[in-house]
Amino acid sequence: TAGITQAPTSQILAAGRSMTLRCTQDMRHNAMYWYRQDLGLGLRLIHYSNTAGTTGKGEVPDGYSVSRANTDDFPLTLASAVPSQTSVYFCASSDSGLASGNEQFFGPGTRLTVL
Amino acid sequence: TQLLEQSPQFLSIQEGENLTVYCNSSSVFSSLQWYRQEPGEGPVLLVTVVTGGEVKKLKRLTFQFGDARKDSSLHITAAQPGDTGLYLCAGAVRNRKLIWGLGTSLAVNP
């Protein structure tokens, strides 16, 4: 079982350009999440989706958007990248929604550098 | 703002030593999870503790949830180089999001 796949593995992006980070899970989990991980700041929730068709804002949503058209896919879009969005981005999923405290399964991450 | 403080932030020890990592908060958690993250990978769940005072063992790792469900500890006996990684705790507040600690970076030297 693949679990969660993320693409690309890494990317260098010019400031002002747009980009979509892809995330796909094969566990049929209801909830999916996007985090960014930065040294000294830890994991911070960007956006989440408790079930297909719904999304919600996390701690640091500004500059990012998400959609959840189906159970398996949860893409994260940066409309106009800025250097402060340089980070490692992790997609995660869980069987139940954000408030359940259920185990979260993480993808391998996407390392994004915005110049 | 709810915080989950982990200590120490960094730990470098020799193979065979014992260590304890702490996770503390002023908030009461309905459950608390411990994850390990290896370089270049996402976090992987080690254990979930739910009941105040609960102790769980995973081979050489012992996890304890405080009686008041505000704190937790992870003790590793006879650490091995394979234990190297970032240890993260995450607390679940009822009907709220998961709160993450900043992590303890552990290096076990052969």
Give the distance from residue A93's alpha carbon to the nearest chain B alpha carbon, in angstroms: 12
- Which residue bears the tokens 């690309």? A8
Cα-Cα-Cα-Cα torsion B36, B38, B41, B45, nearest 10 degrees, comes to -10
CB contact under 8 A, B40 and A109: yes
Give the model's pLDDT for residue A100. 67
Contact A24, A5 (CB under 8 A): yes
CB contact under 8 A, A108 and B41: yes
Query: For chain B, what's the residue count?
Result: 110
List all residues 6 or more positions away from A85 whose beta carbon is below 8 Å from its beta carbon.
A36, A63, A78, A112, A114
Tokens standing for residue A101: 């405290």
CB contact under 8 A, B102 and A106: no
Give the model's pLDDT for residue B12. 97
Is the C-alpha dihedral spanning A38, A59, A115, B42 positive or negative? positive
pLDDT tens per residue across span A33-63: 999 999 989 999 999 999 999 999 999 999 9
pLDDT tens per residue across span B29-62: 999 999 999 999 999 999 999 999 999 999 999 9
List all residues 6 or more positions away from A45 whose beta carbon is below 8 Å from its beta carbon.
A33, A34, A35, A58, A59, A60, B97, B98
pLDDT tens per residue across span A59-101: 999 999 999 999 999 999 999 999 999 999 999 999 887 666 7
Q: How far apart are CA A71 and CA A58, in angstroms?
A: 19
pLDDT at B91 over 90: yes
Give the model's pLDDT for residue A102. 83
CB contact under 8 A, A42 and B100: yes
Q: What value does the CA radius of gyration of chain A take, rounded to a whole number of Å? A: 13
pLDDT at B95 over 90: no
Tokens standing for residue B17: 């030593």
Give the distance from residue A80's alpha carbon to the nearest chain B alpha carbon, in angstroms: 26
Q: Provide mean pLDDT across the span B57-72.
A: 96
Closest CA to A74 of A94, A49, A99: A49
Give me the phi and psi of B40, to 5 degrees please: 80, 10
pLDDT at A114 over 90: yes
Selecting from B42, B90, B101 the residue whose C-beta is nearest the C-beta of A108 gives B42
CB contact under 8 A, B102 and A41: yes
Give the model's pLDDT for residue A98. 66
pLDDT at B82 over 60: yes
Give the distance from residue A41's alpha carbon to the nearest chain B alpha carbon, in angstroms: 6
pLDDT at A1 over 80: no
pLDDT at B19 over 90: yes
Q: How far apart are CA A54 and CA A52, in angstroms?
A: 6
